[in-house]
């Protein structure tokens, strides 16, 4: 029964969406997009152990690429194209850093994040610079995705596909190689794992998924604006995984749900309490405090809380000792 | 002439960068942790001192008190947040410092909102001119203070017993423990000193710009500085800070206009945008690929 | 994980259901309550306060209290777009008040498709198109008109060499680009010597100003918000550039500037579009009455702008209700359409002295401005009120 839980939830989500108002529907697709990105980032950081700060910029690449291809009328191929372009850039960022590890690799991704941001803002012929790239509602298999409802359904379906792909990846040989590499590159090498090649696949695959998430983001907001893909987005994704559960796919979903819904809940409660100008401050405080609390007391995230409540430890590869 | 002016501006801003980076290096040396929250302490230093001034204390009391309080804040953070995470992977510890930064920003926003608060002119503000190069005296004082502090710290580290104990703990916890050095106290001291430094940096910046939550952003520029200077080198932080300050100044004052003039004449591109934002990161990338340990760092110093 | 999300969905659903119970007047606006240009958020408060004022003195409009929502856009595009979606669907707002140039541009298609009247705080000429963008409104002359006024004024004082400085966001770049491409500076008989872009949240611009000094301009126009003007004037003082070299747009009339910079702000000029806070006009008396029982967040010229916008929006709604026989329309889209029509139909509208009488057929209300200058730590009028050419 537990194995089918995600799929049942997916069907439930599809069923309830038509009855929600536009704003809540936008929460649904925002969740789905965040979840896809969180899955990708989790595989990179949680499973393969490569800390990255470039998630925000890579999502941006996906949004621009998807938008340009979608505006050119490429239908669903625009998603694939966005994925491939982002995969290429992800590899481009990651590969020269093959020799770098841990902190230094993280620094190089930080640099990549800022450099890409700069390019978004200034390479006007491609990105339309600061005005942002206007993205028309895309067509998927001929159906125009121009209402919140359709966007939500499309995003949910994509999320399911991405989820299945990630499940298969983590259970494959490559996925296991990621885990070993995370623990120790030397041990991996000793076991005959080709570390550079494994890293390549890690960057490429996670980049591809981030590209798809980014493209959907562009399609849903109808604009790719350079200021939306900054370092705070990257930090958001890292936080998502810490709260949800590093190294756990379900954890990514939980983290994404959290990050999408928590600001809204706090916003409504804040309005109710007439906090006015301080609502955002409260949000930040709660956000920061949660990150600290989870890391100190339950680094395996919410996922681990549920497991320990049930008394079993089903989180794959979530060991934290290093 | 313009180069002298740009150089002076560059050194002024660079010395503040060095101050911030120094704090990060102190903590890294003592505990192997990169403190992403350093910018947050800068911001808090400014706000705490501002609050003390608002409460009616004279600047002569408020400023030292503010620095002291920041030091205590750093100590407290180390004790309550970092110490429980001793056994956690370095990734997690870095993330927790991010959490600290986010929380600090939230608290400041909660109490003070987003408006820039004016900070009293603690230093005289006359315009001074040295052979055609102009600088206002408060900038001069800020820059001098930064450099003096950095040098003082380096002396402290190299020449005093306490400094020796700090270096011993940083170098090898177990050996230090073995000879009776209380390592966790040393780590706590490093945090205290680092946040006191950051607090002072925040006060300096506040006298120049006023008090605003964006003061925390200066923490980000510290990373190219420490990579360039070497993660574990104090002198490197000073040198790299000034170098990057100069680089930024000359980029804005000379490189960008020259580039733009050329681009405007030969292409349809009109502006290179805020290029000074990316230049330090481009430098960071070059350093990482060419000489990852930076100017003064040690080879094999990548702790992870 | 869906268990987690049911609670807020129920909350949200509950809210949206209750909104459809009886006819309401909801006006939903957002501003930068926390963020890069928070110093000018008086206008967001001003508008909301005007609606509260109506509620307190007249019981709202046609006996229905106005539900005025003020949300925090934080000057972040994705946040602003999210708020728009909430305003247009969940809150069923009859009029929406936007903030940034970027958001308004991104919402050009949406506001037209959703047919909801949108009052933006931007003055971008790209947003002014009564035919193609029938639902988009602003409150005053465009940035381009302001730039030309500022430069013209400098020309009268003998300036010829011009440098434009602007922030690296849509608000900064777009008007400067228009000015450049239309060769507006040359048409004035002046010379555009340099254009400098800087990061919109920069804290140090010394090097950029050294570059400015090298070009020896006679006037430097700043297309940015108060926060950055403070940085510019402060860093200019560092290298000996006097504040009277600089001119700013409307978003630079802020008591914070002389307060922070003291003598480094004396002589700075800015374009003034409305009557300043504290001047004895009918609107100011209304505000004073309101302040007896309510806290006023920002006491500055931006608040006056907000009050004006409140007046305009309330008048349009009132007329729409009157046209519907004195009852608030049940159907929200009819209500929105009617309000839009009434807004565009406003003629010779009295704003209690904040501005000249408004004519909203051109969707901007009026085209008058004057130069203000900082003298003795305060902004005072430097020229007469001029009618600006309908440039864009």
ipTM field: 0.84
Rounded to whole angstroms, how far apart are CA atoms A37 and A59? 8
- pLDDT at position A245 over 70: yes
Give the pLDDT band of residue B209 (cuts 50, 70, 90). Answer: confident
Contact C340, C358 (CB under 8 A): no
Burial C41-78 (b: 16+ CB within 10 A, else e): bbbbbbbbbbbbbbbeeeebbbebbbbbbbbbbbbbbb
Do residue A284 and residue B105 have CB atoms under 8 angstroms apart? yes
DSSP β-bridge partners for residue C379: C374
Which pLDDT value is given to residue B84? 86
pTM of the shown model: 0.86
With a cut of 60, say whether residue A312 has pLDDT above it: no
Nearest to residue A251, comparing CAs of A263, A259, A261, A243? A243
Q: Is the pLDDT of residue B151 over 50?
A: yes
Phi, psi of C248 (to 5 degrees): -120, 170
Summarize the confidence of residues A223-243 as an average pLDDT: 86
Task: Say yes or no to pLDDT of A255 above 70.
Answer: yes
Q: Which partners does chain B have (≥3 C-beta pairs < 8 Å)?
A: A, C
For residue A39, the model assigns a pLDDT of 93
Strand intervals (E) in B89-151: 127-130, 133-136
What per-residue confidence (pLDDT) applies to C367? 86
**pLDDT attached to residue A103:** 77
The confidence score (pLDDT) of residue C17 equals 42
| Half-sphere exposure for A27 (CA within 13 Å, toward CB) | 28
Cα–Cα distance measured from residue C85 to residue A117, given in angstroms and rounded to the nearest whole number: 26
- More reliable by pLDDT, C41 or A310: C41
Between CA B7 and CA B14 the distance in angstroms is 10
Distances C187 to A158, B91, C141, C151 between C-alpha atoms, Å: 54, 59, 19, 11
Residue C339, pLDDT score: 93
Give the pLDDT of residue C205. Answer: 87
Q: Which two tokens stand for residue A21?
A: 């108002």
The pLDDT value given to residue B204: 84
CB B210 within 8 A of CB B117: yes
Cβ neighbours of A11 (radius 10 Å): 13
Averaged pLDDT for residues A11-25? 87
SS3 A246: coil
Residues of C within an 8 Å Cβ radius of B: 32-35, 38-39, 168, 177, 180, 194-195, 197-199, 201-208, 210-211, 213-214, 227, 230-231, 234, 237-240, 256, 259-260
To the nearest whole angstrom, how far is the Cα of A258 from the nearest Cα of chain C?
8
pLDDT at B297 over 90: no
Cβ pair C70, C92 in contact under 8 A = no
Q: Per-residue pLDDT tens for B33-88?
A: 889 899 999 999 999 999 999 888 888 889 999 999 999 999 999 999 988 887 77
For C80-116, the DSSP string reads HHHHHHIIIIIS--SEEE---HHHHHHTHHHHHHHT-
Q: How confident is the model at residue A90 (pLDDT cuts 50, 70, 90)?
A: very high
The per-residue pLDDT for C52 is 93
Query: pLDDT digit string (tens) for C240-266?
Result: 899 999 999 999 988 888 888 888 899
Q: What percent of chain B has pLDDT over 70?
A: 96
Query: What is the average pLDDT across B236-259?
Result: 88
**Lookup: tokens for C278:** 């504290």
What average pLDDT does this structure show over A169-196? 84
Of B90, B278, B292, the CB nearest to A114: B278
When comparing pLDDT for C17 and A159, which is higher? A159
Q: Summarize pLDDT for C154-165 with one digit per residue, the tens.
A: 999 999 999 999
8-state DSSP, B44: H
Residue of C nearest to B213 (CA): C35
Q: A22, C89: Cβ pair inside 8 Å?
A: yes
- Distances, alpha carbon A124 to alpha carbons A225, B260, B273, C124, C309, in Å: 12, 15, 11, 19, 35
Q: Between residues A97 and A130, which one has the greater pLDDT?
A: A130
Can you tell me the distance from the alpha carbon of B29 to that of A162, in angstroms, rounded to the nearest whole number?
Answer: 42
- The CB density around residue B93, as the number of other CB atoms within 10 Å, is 20
Q: Which pLDDT value is given to residue A2?
A: 61
Residue B185 pLDDT class (50, 70, 90 cuts): confident
Q: Is C134 helix (H, G, I), strand (E, B) or coil?
A: coil
Does A315 have pLDDT greater than 80? no
pLDDT band (50, 70, 90) for residue B121: confident
Q: Would an 8 Å CB–CB cutoff place B252 in contact with chain C?
A: yes
A28-83: per-residue pLDDT in tens? 999 999 999 999 998 888 888 778 889 999 999 999 999 999 988 888 899 999 99
Mean pLDDT along residues A215-234: 89
- List Cα–Cα distances, B224 to B24, B231, B240, B280, in angstroms: 12, 10, 9, 6
User: Is it the case that residue A86 has pLDDT exceeding 50?
Assistant: yes
**B111 to chain A: closest CA residue:** A278
The two structure tokens encoding residue B113: 């909102």
CB atoms C12 and A228 under 8 Å: no
- Reported as a pLDDT band with limits 50, 70 and 90, residue A311 is low
SS3 C178: helix
A274-303, pLDDT tens digit by residue?
877 788 899 889 999 998 998 888 877 777
Nearest residue, CB atoms, B110 vs list A102, A124, A281: A281
pLDDT band at residue A177 under the 50/70/90 scheme: confident
pLDDT at B222: 84
Tell me what the pLDDT averaged over chain B comes to. Answer: 83
Residue of chain B nearest A231, judged by CA positions: B220
- Interface test with chain C among B4, B16, B271, B280, by most C beta carbons within 10 Å: B271
Contact C156, C377 (CB under 8 A): no
Ranges of chain C with pLDDT below 50: 1-8, 12-20, 392
pLDDT at B231: 80
**Chain A CB contacts of C168 below 8 Å:** 121, 130
Answer whether B105 touches C (CB < 8 Å).
no
**Those residues with Cβ within 8 angstroms of residue C18's Cβ, 6 or more apart along the chain or in another chain:** none
Residue A293: Cβ within 10 Å count: 14
Q: Read off the tokens for C1.
A: 């994980």
Helical residues (DSSP H) of chain C, grouped into ranges: 2-19, 42-58, 77-85, 101-106, 108-114, 143-156, 170-181, 184-187, 206-214, 226-238, 256-261, 282-293, 301-323, 332-345
Q: Which residues of C touch A27 (CB under 8 A)?
A: 5, 8-9, 12
Distance set, CA B163 to CA B25, B57, B168 (Å): 14, 33, 9
Residues of B in contact with C206 (CB under 8 A): 9, 12-13, 249
How many other CB atoms are found less than 10 A from the CB of residue C346? 17
Is the pLDDT at A162 greater than 80? The verdict is yes
C-alpha span between B149 and B198 (Å, rounded)? 11
Specify the higher pLDDT residue, C39 or B97: B97
Average pLDDT over residues A192-207: 88
Residue among C99, C206, C237 with most chain B CBs within 10 A, to mutate: C206
Q: Tell me which of A26-35, A305-314, B3-12, B130-139 is least confident.
A: A305-314
Residue B300 pLDDT class (50, 70, 90 cuts): low
Rounded Cα distance, A223 and C78, in Å: 10
Per-residue pLDDT, C391: 53
Q: Who contacts C170 (Cβ-Cβ below 8 Å, separation ≥6)?
A: A130, A131, A132, C100, C101, C102, C105, C124
CB contact, 8 Å: B274 with chain C? yes
């Amino acid at each position: 029964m537990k194995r089918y839980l995600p799929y049942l939830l997916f069907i439930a989500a599809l069923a309830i969406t038509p009855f929600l108002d536009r704003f809540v529907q936008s929460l649904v697709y925002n969740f789905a997009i965040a979840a896809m990105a969180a899955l990708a980032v989790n595989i990179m950081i949680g499973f393969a152990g490569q800390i990255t700060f470039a998630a925000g910029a890579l999502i941006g690449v996906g949004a621009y690429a998807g938008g340009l291809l979608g505006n050119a009328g490429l239908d669903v191929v625009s998603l694939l194209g966005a994925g491939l372009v982002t995969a290429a850039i992800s590899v481009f960022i990651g590969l020269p850093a093959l020799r770098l590890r841990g902190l230094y690799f993280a620094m190089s991704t930080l640099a990549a994040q800022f450099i890409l941001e700069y390019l978004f803002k200034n390479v006007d012929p491609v990105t339309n610079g600061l005005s942002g790239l206007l993205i028309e509602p895309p067509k998927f298999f001929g159906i125009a995705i121009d209402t919140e409802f359709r966007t939500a359904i499309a995003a949910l379906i994509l999320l399911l596909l991405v989820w299945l792909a990630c499940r298969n990846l983590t259970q494959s040989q490559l996925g296991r190689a990621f885990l070993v590499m995370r623990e120790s590159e030397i041990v991996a090498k000793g076991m005959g794992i080709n570390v550079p090649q494994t890293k390549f696949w890690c960057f490429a695959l996670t980049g591809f998924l981030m590209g798809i998430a980014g493209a959907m983001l562009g399609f849903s907001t109808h604009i790719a604006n350079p200021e939306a893909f900054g370092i705070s987005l990257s930090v958001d994704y890292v936080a998502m995984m810490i709260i949800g559960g590093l190294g756990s796919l379900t954890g990514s979903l939980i983290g994404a749900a959290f990050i999408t819904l928590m600001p809204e809940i706090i916003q409504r409660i804040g309005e109710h309490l007439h906090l006015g100008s301080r609502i955002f401050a409260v949000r930040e405080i709660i956000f920061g405090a949660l990150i600290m609390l989870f890391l100190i007391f339950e680094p395996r995230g919410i996922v681990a809380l549920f497991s320990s409540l049930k008394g079993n430890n089903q989180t794959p590869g979530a060991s934290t000792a290093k | 002439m313009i180069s002298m002016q740009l150089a002076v501006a560059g050194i002024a801003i660079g010395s503040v960068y060095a101050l911030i980076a120094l704090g990060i290096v102190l903590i890294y040396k003592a505990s192997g942790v990169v403190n992403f929250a350093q910018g947050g302490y800068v911001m808090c230093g400014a706000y705490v001192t501002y609050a003390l001034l608002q409460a009616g204390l004279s600047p002569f009391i408020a400023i030292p008190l503010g620095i002291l309080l920041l030091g205590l804040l750093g100590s407290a953070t180390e004790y309550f947040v970092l110490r429980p995470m001793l056994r956690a992977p370095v990734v997690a510890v870095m993330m927790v410092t991010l959490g600290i930064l986010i929380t600090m920003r939230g608290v400041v926003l909660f109490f003070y909102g987003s408006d820039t608060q004016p900070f009293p002119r603690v230093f005289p503000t006359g315009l001074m001119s040295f052979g055609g190069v102009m600088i206002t005296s408060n900038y001069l004082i800020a820059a001098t203070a930064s450099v003096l502090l950095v040098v003082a710290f380096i002396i402290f580290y190299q020449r005093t017993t306490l400094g020796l104990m700090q270096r011993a703990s940083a170098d090898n916890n177990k050996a230090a423990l073995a000879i009776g050095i209380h390592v966790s106290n040393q780590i706590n001291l490093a945090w205290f000193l680092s946040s006191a430094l950051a607090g002072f940096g925040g006060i300096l910046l506040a006298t120049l710009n006023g008090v605003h939550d964006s003061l925390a952003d200066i923490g980000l520029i510290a990373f190219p500085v420490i990579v360039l200077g070497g993660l574990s080198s104090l002198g490197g932080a000073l040198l790299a800070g000034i170098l990057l300050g100069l680089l930024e100044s000359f980029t804005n004052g000379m490189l960008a206009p020259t580039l733009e003039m050329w681009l405007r004449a030969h292409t349809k591109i009109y502006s290179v945008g805020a290029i000074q934002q990316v230049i330090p990161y481009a430098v960071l990338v070059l350093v990482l690929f060419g000489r990852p340990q930076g100017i003064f760092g040690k080879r094999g110093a990548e702790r992870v | 994980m869906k268990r987690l999300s049911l609670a807020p969905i129920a909350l949200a659903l509950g809210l949206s259901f209750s909104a459809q119970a009886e006819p309401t007047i909801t006006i939903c606006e957002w501003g930068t309550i926390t963020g890069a240009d928070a110093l000018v958020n008086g206008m967001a408060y001003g508008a909301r306060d005007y609606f509260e004022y109506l509620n307190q003195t007249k019981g709202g409009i046609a006996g229905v209290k106005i539900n005025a929502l003020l949300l925090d856009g934080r000057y972040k595009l994705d946040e602003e777009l999210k708020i728009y979606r909430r305003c247009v669907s969940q809150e069923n707002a009859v009029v929406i008040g936007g903030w940034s140039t970027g958001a308004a541009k991104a919402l050009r298609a949406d506001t037209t498709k959703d047919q909801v009247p949108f009052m933006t705080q931007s003055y971008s000429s790209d947003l002014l198109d009564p035919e193609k963008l029938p639902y988009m409104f602003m409150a005053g002359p465009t940035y381009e008109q302001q730039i030309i006024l500022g430069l013209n004024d400098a020309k009268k004082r003998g300036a010829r060499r011009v440098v434009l400085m602007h922030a690296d966001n849509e608000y900064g770049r777009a008007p400067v680009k228009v000015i450049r491409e239309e060769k507006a500076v040359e048409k004035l008989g002046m010379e555009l010597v340099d254009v400098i872009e800087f990061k919109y949240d920069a804290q140090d611009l010394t090097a950029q100003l050294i570059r400015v000094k090298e070009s020896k301009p006679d006037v430097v126009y700043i297309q940015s918000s108060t926060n950055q003007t403070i940085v510019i004037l402060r860093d200019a003082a560092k290298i000996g550039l006097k504040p009277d070299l600089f001119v700013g747009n409307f978003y630079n009339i802020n008591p914070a500037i002389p307060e922070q910079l003291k003598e480094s702000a004396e002589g700075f000029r800015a374009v003034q579009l409305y009557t300043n806070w504290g001047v004895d006009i009918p609107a100011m008396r209304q505000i004073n009455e309101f302040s007896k029982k309510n806290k006023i967040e920002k006491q500055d010229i931006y608040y006056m702008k907000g009050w004006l916008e409140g007046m305009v929006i309330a008048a349009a709604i009132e007329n729409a209700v009157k046209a519907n026989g004195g009852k608030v329309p049940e159907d929200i889209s009819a209500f929105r359409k009617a309000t839009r029509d009434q807004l565009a139909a406003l003629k010779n509208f009295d704003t209690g002295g904040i501005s000249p009488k408004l004519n909203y057929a051109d969707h901007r209300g009026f085209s008058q401005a004057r130069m203000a200058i900082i003298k003795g730590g305060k902004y005072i009028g430097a020229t007469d009120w001029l009618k600006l050419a309908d440039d864009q």
